[in-house]
């Protein structure tokens, strides 16, 4: 009941902000005043403010309270699309590979792949720790077990960290992997057969679509709201007739929208899928990189039946080159561990220990706090530049975490054609149709905001804005 009350209170304030009664930069009532005026408990008032923060509508300022968030004037959030109502065969790999390769050409302004700038990552500390672990633990290079594939020290750290977001995870449900991508692949292999249908977000992270294609799976696109993510009522409809084998989604700072699902929607999704016996695979790679003061909980935190497989890695927060991730696979642990053995027999023991010691040392929490601030600043700079340099009528999402920005151009713009011109001008981005197996979002694009703001990036956004009129 209290859950509904805080949602209602958050909705009330969201309405006041949308109607302009509460304006940009204006201070919201304090928690105590809100609790008194609305006759709710302090914790309900806190939860309502947190919800507004998660929706990107307000921001917390240290020691001052909550304020209506400033947004660039030309930035109303993009609207959800109606999606295909039948599953489709995925056929994107060829074009995706071409786009992703071309985007990496030397000298190109890197607004394509979602990669954090190397300078923001603790690369030096990782080098030192690698050398130290290899020196102190030579046994890690002597033989390996195909059955005990996890480093117990790493598992302990993963369980410990989960206490901060609704855990604890069970140590026995964890499978350490080579990346988040491997985690997703193992989970899909564990619970599907070729020809099955997977419910995915629309728009969806394109590597998820590539995985479906490679495994012969079909995609059913579920509409997503730019603020609140996957539509649970739409998923409810889609899973009524047993056609969906598994749900695959990014509930926290989705890629490309940057949306965060509210707790009530997460809880509802988890309960509904458990009742229908549809396994859930969640990708929480951006969970630590959400902008709200309190880290949003993953679906896993609401799971009481072991039906959710939580996948994550440290590619975005420590280094994409580490190639280390994990799955907390719940009741699918045995099936996922078997797939892991068949896929690669285990995960590099030295890298596992490097990560375990990095987490144990406590420096990760500080590092990730700094990164969150950087990414939030960079996303806001990008939003401002798009508002300044892109043509009138451009819309964009308001990311609540991560470091990509989803931009919607006027209906008639074809971003696949725009991409050709942008590459010729030395600027990368990812065209919108690659985020949909049925070719939606032809007038959208995704921009990477992982690099510190610079004149070169501002000028690239300006040149891109100029090319749009010609596409």
Name which of 327 and 413 has its Cβ closer to ligand PLP. Answer: 327
Q: Residue 405 is encoded by which pair of tokens?
A: 């920005």
Q: How far is the CB of 116 from ligand PLP (least distance, A)?
A: 10
Q: Which range binds ligand PLP by CB under 6 A, 31-39, 160-168, 174-182, 189-197?
A: 174-182
> Which tokens hold the place of 254?
């989705």
Site string for ligand PLP, 59-98 (x = CB under 6 A): ----------------------------------------
Give least dist CB 383 to ligand PLP, A: 19
Among 103, 185, 255, 400, binds ligand PLP (CB under 6 A): 255
Q: Give me the least distance between CB of 313 and ligand PLP, in Å please.
A: 3
Q: Does 285 bind ligand PLP (CB under 6 A)?
A: yes
Which residue, 66 or 314, is less far from ligand PLP as judged by CB? 314
- Of 283 and 288, nearer to ligand PLP (C-beta) is 283
Number of residues that bind ligand PLP (CB under 6 A): 13
Mark the segment that binds ligand PLP (CB under 6 A) among 155-163, 178-186, 270-278, 390-398: 178-186
Closest contact distance (angstroms) between CB of 432 and ligand PLP is 16
Q: Does 313 bind ligand PLP (CB under 6 A)?
A: yes
Q: In residues, how long is the chain?
A: 471
**How far apart, in Å, are the Cα atoms of 208 and each of 2, 211, 214, 295, 467?**
36, 5, 10, 24, 30
CB of 179 to ligand PLP, least distance (A): 3
Least distance from ligand PLP to the Cβ atom of residue 367, Å: 17
Taking the least distance from each CB to ligand PLP, the nearer of 7 and 182 is 182
Measured from the Cβ of residue 161, the count of other Cβ atoms closer than 10 Å reads 16
Q: With respect to ligand PLP, which residue has the nearer C-beta, 201 or 303? A: 201
Category of 65 on φ-ψ map: left (φ > 0), alpha (ψ -120 to 50) or beta: left
Pairing of strands 325-328, 308-313: antiparallel
Measured CA to CA, the distance from residue 263 to residue 180 in angstroms comes to: 23
Beta carbon of residue 45, minimum distance to ligand PLP (angstroms, whole number): 33
CA 336 to each of CA 160, 227, 248, 293: distance values in angstroms, whole numbers, following the listed order: 22, 32, 15, 33
| Complex with ligand PLP: residue 47 or 210, whichever CB lies closer | 210
Tokens 């009941």 found at: 1
Judged by CB under 6 A, the stretch of 149-157, 175-183, 347-355, 459-467 that binds ligand PLP is 175-183
CB of 119 to ligand PLP, least distance (A): 18
Calpha distance 395→413 (Å, rounded): 13
The position carrying tokens 């991730």 is: 325
Shortest gap between Cβ of 449 and ligand PLP (angstroms)? 13
Closest to 246 (Cα-Cα) out of 182, 302, 195? 195
Judged by CB under 6 A, which of 40, 180, 281, 386 binds ligand PLP?
A: 180
Q: How far is the CB of 409 from ligand PLP (least distance, A)?
A: 22
What's the gap between Cα 357 and its chain centre? 25
User: For residues 204-223, which are near ligand PLP according to CB under 6 A?
Assistant: 205
Determine which residue in the list 150, 181, 197, 210 makes contact with ligand PLP, applying CB under 6 A.
181
Q: Does 250 bind ligand PLP (CB under 6 A)?
A: yes
Identified binder of ligand PLP from the candidate list 157, 315, 339, 451, rule CB under 6 A: 315
Q: What three-state secondary structure class fits 430?
A: strand
| Binding status of residue 283 toward ligand PLP by CB under 6 A | yes
Report the Cα 336 to chain-centroid distance in Å: 22
Binding ligand PLP (rule: CB under 6 A), the pick from 51, 179, 376, 394 is 179
DSSP, collapsed to helix, strand or coil, labels residue 390 as coil
Cross-strand pairs, 327: 175, 311
CA-nearest of 287, 317, 286, 311 to 126 is: 317
| 93's tokens | 């790999």
Q: Which of residues 325 and 384 has its CB atom nearest to ligand PLP in the complex?
A: 325
Shortest Cβ 181–ligand PLP spacing (Å): 3
Please tell me whether residue 325 binds ligand PLP under the rule CB under 6 A: yes
Q: Cα 448 from chain centroid?
A: 13
**112 lines the binding site for ligand PLP (CB under 6 A):** no
Q: Is the separation of the CB atoms in 282 and 309 below 8 Å?
A: yes
- Is residue 114 close enough to count as binding ligand PLP by CB under 6 A? yes
Residues 6+ apart with CB under 8 A from 198: 188, 192, 212, 217, 218, 219, 220, 244, 245, 246, 247, 248
Q: Which residues of 234-257 are buried (b: 16+ CB within 10 A; e: fewer)?
A: bbeebbeeeebbbbbbbbbbbbbb
Minimal distance, residue 41 CB to ligand PLP, in Å: 36
- Report the interface residues with ligand PLP, using CB under 6 A: 114, 179-181, 205, 250, 255, 283, 285, 313, 315, 320, 325
């Amino acid at each position: 009941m209290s859950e509904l009350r805080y949602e209602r209170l958050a909705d009330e304030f969201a309405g006041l902000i949308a109607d302009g009664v509460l304006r940009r930069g204006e201070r919201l009532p304090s928690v105590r005043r809100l609790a008194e005026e609305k006759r709710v408990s302090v914790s309900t008032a806190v939860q309502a403010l947190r919800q507004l923060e998660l929706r990107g509508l307000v921001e917390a300022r240290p020691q001052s309270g909550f304020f209506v968030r400033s947004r660039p004037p030309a930035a109303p959030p993009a609207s959800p699309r109606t999606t295909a109502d039948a599953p489709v065969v995925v056929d994107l790999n060829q074009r995706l590979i071409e786009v992703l390769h071309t985007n990496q050409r030397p000298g190109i302004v890197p607004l394509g792949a979602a990669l954090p700038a190397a300078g923001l990552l603790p690369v030096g500390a990782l080098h030192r720790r690698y050398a130290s672990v290899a020196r102190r633990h030579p046994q890690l290079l002597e033989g390996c077990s195909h059955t005990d594939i996890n480093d117990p020290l790493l598992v302990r750290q993963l369980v410990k960290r989960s206490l901060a977001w609704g855990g604890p995870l069970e140590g026995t449900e964890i499978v350490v992997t080579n990346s988040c991508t491997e985690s997703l692949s193992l989970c899909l292999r564990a619970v599907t057969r070729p020809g099955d249908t997977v419910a995915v977000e629309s728009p969806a992270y394109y590597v998820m679509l590539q995985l479906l294609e490679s495994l012969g799976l079909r995609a059913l696109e579920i509409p997503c709201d730019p603020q609140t993510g996957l539509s649970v009522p739409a998923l409810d409809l889609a899973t009524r007739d047993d056609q969906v084998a598994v749900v695959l989604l990014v509930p926290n700072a989705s890629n490309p929208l940057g949306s965060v699902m509210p707790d009530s929607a997460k809880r509802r999704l988890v309960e509904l899928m458990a009742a229908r016996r549809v396994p859930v695979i969640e990708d929480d790679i951006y969970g630590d990189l959400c902008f709200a003061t309190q880290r949003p909980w993953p679906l896993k935190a609401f799971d009481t039946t072991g039906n959710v497989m939580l996948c994550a890695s440290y590619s975005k927060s420590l280094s994409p080159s580490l190639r280390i991730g994990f799955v907390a696979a719940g009741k699918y642990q045995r099936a996922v561990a078997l797939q892991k053995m068949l896929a690669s027999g285990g995960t590099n023991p030295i890298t596992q220990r490097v990560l375990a010691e990095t987490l144990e040392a406590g420096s990760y929490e500080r590092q990730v706090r700094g990164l969150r601030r950087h990414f939030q600043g960079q996303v806001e700079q990008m939003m401002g530049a798009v508002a300044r340099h892109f043509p009138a009528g451009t819309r964009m999402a308001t990311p609540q975490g991560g470091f990509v920005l989803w931009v919607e151009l006027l209906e008639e713009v074809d971003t696949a054609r725009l991409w050709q011109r942008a590459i010729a001008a030395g600027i990368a981005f990812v065209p919108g149709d690659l985020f949909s197996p049925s070719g939606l979002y032809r007038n959208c694009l995704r921009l990477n905001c992982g690099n510190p703001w610079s004149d070169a990036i501002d000028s690239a956004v300006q040149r891109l804005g100029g090319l749009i009129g010609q596409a």
